[in-house]
Amino acid sequence: MEELILIYNIKDSDRLEKVRKALQPLKIKIKKVDKKDYKLPILRLLTGKLAVETEKYEGDELLDEMLVMSVQPQQIDKILTSFKTEGIYFPYKAVVTAKNSLWDSLKLFNELQREHEAMKRI
């Protein structure tokens, strides 16, 4: 599978372009995930294999932006450094794993949100 980053709830086109620019030297593609696809498994969003019809999500947008990275481990630091250099911050970030690749976007966001809150209490 090619390296790809899923981006959620990014509304500012200038910000999206800034993200693209930051990732360009690393040759990592991004895919903006539409709200209607939030119920699809992360793996299906990454592979583009959407043959099985699922119900479209019609609920609320995520509370904040989220970034889901399907990249080689050595790329993670490069991505975060590039974002820091460009002044780009995502409060909710995840790396795709065998476990979370089967989750839908809403479940992943809720888990990240729960972890984020737990870290604040430490």
pLDDT for 44: 93
The predicted pLDDT at position 52 comes to: 62
Q: What is the pLDDT of residue 51?
A: 55
What pLDDT score was predicted for residue 53? 63
Select from 79, 67, 25, 68 the least CA-distant residue to 43. 68
Hey, how many other C-beta atoms are within 10 angstroms of the C-beta on 46? 19
Q: What is the pLDDT along the chain (122 residues), one digit of tens a residue?
A: 689 999 999 999 999 999 999 999 999 999 999 999 999 999 999 998 765 666 788 899 999 999 999 999 999 999 999 999 999 999 999 999 999 999 999 999 999 999 988 988 88
Run of H or E residues at 67: strand 66-70
SS3 104: strand
pLDDT, position 50: 62
Is this structure's pTM higher than 0.85? yes
